[in-house]
Structure formats: C-alpha cells, structure tokens
C-alpha cells in the first residue's frame, strides 16, 4: 500500500515538472558590462515599545515600484531598479522607477500624545530610457535621455511632513506639503541638464535647469485657530523648452528659450496667507500679486502659459507730474498733486513734527 502511494506521488511530481513552463524574467542584459538590475522592492521596518503606561512606535516603509521589464543593451555600468527601465549604448546610467517612503513615529503617555510623519514620493508615468548617453540619472519614470552627458531627470516629487500633539484636551498640528507637478522629461544632445517634475524638454543645450509647477502649503493650528500660507509657482500647464541655449533656468512650465544665454524664466507666482479663528469665524486672507500674464516687449500681453527670454519694463507706468484719474467712487485717502504719493503719510509726519515742536517749546519755557 505504501509503495503504491509513493508511486502515485512520484508520478504527480514528474508530470508537474514536465509540464511547467520557464518563469518570465523581468531583467534582460544583452552585450552589457556591469549591469545591476532588480524588480520592485518593498521593505517596512517597524519598532514599538510600551512601559509604565507610555507607548512609542515607529515605522519606515520604503517601496520602489514600476512595471515592465528592465533592459540593458550594449551598456556599461547600468543600474536599474523597479521596472520599465531601458538603457541602450550608454555608460554609467542609473534608472529607478517610482519611489515612496512614509516614515512615521508616535508616542503617548498620561493622556497626552504626539505623532510625526514625513511621507515622500517620487512618481512619474512611463518608463526611463537612456540611449547613447553618459552619466544619466533617472528617477520616477517618464524620463528620456538621448546622446546626452551628465543628465539628471526626476519625476514629480511630493513630500507632506506633518506633526501633531494633544495635551490636556488641546490639539496642536502643523503640516508643510511640498510638490513639483508634471511628468515626462526629455533631454537630447545636451550636457549638464537637470529636470525635475515633468514636461521639460532640452535639446542641444548646456547647463539647463528645468522644473515643473511648484506648490508649498504650510498650515498650522492650535485650539480653534488655524493659519496657512500656500505658495504656488506656475500651474497653468505647458512645458519648459530649451533649445540651443546655455545656462537656462526655467520654473513653473510654459517657458521657452531658443538660442539664448543666461536665461531665467518663471511661471506666475501666487501666495494667499490666511488666518481663521473659532468654529464659525471666516478666514482673513491676503492674496499676493500674481504675474500670470507677463507683457511682451510691445506692450501686448502674451498668451497664457507662454513666456519668452526677452524682458522689457512695463509701459503702463504714469509719467512724473501726471494726475491720476480716479476709477471708482470718492477716495477716502487723497494724494499729493503731481506725485501720486499718499497724503496720509505726510499728514502723520506733520502732526509728529508739530507735537515735537510744542513739547520742545514747553520745556524751554519751564527751564527759563
């Protein structure tokens, strides 16, 4: 009976091994030297402790995602992690798919608690491709480098550090999320290109720095009062493009530099700090000026999302001595004629001088 059972088991194992197919490999290195390839990686170290009513916990989850195969062909020193990375005829290329890390810590004792977290992600859609390049570093996905040297490309990084605490029924919290939007960077025939976020294109350029729309929103609260100071640079869409240029810096999107040297371009900048107190109170905000529609050299506003390297002073300044015409109702604060300066400032200055003179005169009489 036992021999018959062993015979059946052996037959099943033989059939299984005979019909099993070879597992599909995610990594492929053809004609390459020093290639290091790895698929998606995930690790979640944790630690916690509890003693005498006090608890402490911490965790640091880290993951490298990505889908698709890693391929290195005729390359030297190719490092690929995650998935969807391709290196052809390149030297010293480092390619990493989307990366995420969410370290956090918390503690509590005697009815009080505190916590902190710093989630960070570097995303991006698509694959990383390096062809005929030297020293290409690509992180996040959607990056392409062709015949370039010293290229640094990163997908949209996002960070949301936050802290919170509770003590005797009162809660305190603060957060400072920061992000750079966009996906898809392209560098061709360039040297020293640095691209962050996405939607950046550099062609036959030297030392080009490009970034997508940047957002930062600092928020803090204590009890029933909250404050915030969101800041944005760009966000109107469009891509950054530098062609045949030297020393170009572009931030925000919708910037174009062609045949330029030492060009600095930025999208519209906006800030709206606000303060709110109480459960039903309305927030008081102070929006900052925005340069969303820059003027061209001819005085005609350019199309949204398009900025050129040429700059010119605004033609709408009033000439000295010209009287400003009121645009609305009666003005509560007048202006000095022919200057446009506020009258209230000079009224306060005059009152201060009068008060100083009267005080000096009174002291002089008393001394005599």
Containing 118, the helix (H) or strand (E) segment is none
Decide if pLDDT at 313 tops 70: no
Which segment, 21-25, 259-263, 336-340, is predicted with the most confidence on average? 259-263
pLDDT at 345: 61
pLDDT digits (tens, 9 = 90+) for 89-140: 999 999 999 899 889 988 888 778 888 998 989 887 788 999 999 999 999 8
pLDDT at 262: 93
Residue 102: helix, strand or coil by DSSP?
Answer: coil
Average pLDDT, the chain: 76
Q: Which two tokens stand for residue 36?
A: 């290091």
Which residue has better confidence, 228 or 204? 204
Decide if pLDDT at 154 tops 60: yes
Distances (CA, A) of 278 to 130, 170, 282, 295, 354: 55, 14, 8, 42, 44
Containing 159, the helix (H) or strand (E) segment is strand 157-159
Mean pLDDT, residues 246-258 taken together: 92
pLDDT at 80: 93
Q: What are phi and psi of 35, to 5 degrees?
A: -90, 130
pLDDT band at residue 366 using 50, 70 and 90 as cut-offs: low
pLDDT digits (tens, 9 = 90+) for 173-216: 888 888 888 778 999 999 999 999 888 999 999 999 999 888 88
pLDDT digits (tens, 9 = 90+) for 57-85: 999 898 888 788 899 999 999 999 988 89
Of 92, 77, 88, 80, the residue nearest 30 (C-alpha): 88
> Is residue 203 a contact partner of residue 240, using CB atoms and an 8 Å limit?
no
pLDDT at 91: 95
């Amino acid at each position: 009976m036992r021999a018959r059972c062993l015979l059946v088991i052996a037959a099943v194992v033989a059939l299984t091994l005979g019909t099993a197919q070879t597992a599909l490999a995610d990594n492929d290195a053809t004609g390459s030297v020093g290639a290091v390839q790895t698929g998606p990686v995930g690790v979640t170290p944790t630690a916690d402790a509890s003693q005498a009513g006090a608890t402490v916990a911490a965790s640091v989850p880290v993951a490298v995602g990505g889908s698709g195969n890693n391929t290195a062909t005729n390359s030297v020193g190719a490092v690929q992690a995650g998935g969807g990375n391709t290196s052809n005829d390149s030297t010293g290329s480092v390619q990493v798919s989307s990366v995420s890390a969410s370290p956090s810590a918390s503690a509590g004792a005697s009815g009080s608690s505190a916590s902190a977290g710093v989630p960070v992600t570097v995303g991006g859609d698509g694959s990383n491709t390096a062809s005929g390049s030297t020293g290409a570093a690509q992180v996040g996905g959607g990056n392409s480098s062709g015949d370039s040297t010293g290229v640094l490309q990163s997908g949209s990084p996002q960070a949301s550090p936050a802290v919170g605490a509770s003590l005797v029924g009162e809660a305190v919290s603060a957060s400072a999320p920061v992000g750079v939007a966009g996906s898809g960077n392209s560098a061709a025939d360039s040297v020293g290109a640095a691209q962050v976020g996405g939607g950046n294109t550099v062609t036959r350029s030297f030392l080009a720095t490009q970034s997508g729309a940047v957002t930062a929103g600092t928020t803090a609260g204590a009890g029933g009062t909250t404050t915030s100071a969101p800041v944005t640079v760009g966000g109107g869409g469009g891509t950054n493009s530098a062609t045949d240029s030297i020393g170009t810096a572009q931030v925000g999107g919708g910037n174009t530099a062609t045949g330029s040297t030492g060009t600095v371009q930025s999208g519209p900048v906006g800030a709206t700090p606000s303060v709110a107190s109480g459960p039903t109170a309305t927030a008081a905000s102070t929006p900052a000026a925005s340069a969303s529609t820059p003027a061209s050299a001819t005085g005609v506003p350019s199309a949204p999302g398009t900025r050129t390297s040429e700059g010119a002073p605004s033609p709408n300044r009033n000439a000295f001595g010209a009287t400003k015409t009121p645009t609305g109702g009666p003005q509560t604060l007048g202006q000095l004629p022919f200057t446009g300066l506020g009258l209230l400032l000079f009224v306060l200055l005059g009152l201060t001088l009068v008060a100083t003179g009267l005080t000096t005169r009174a002291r002089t009489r008393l001394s005599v």
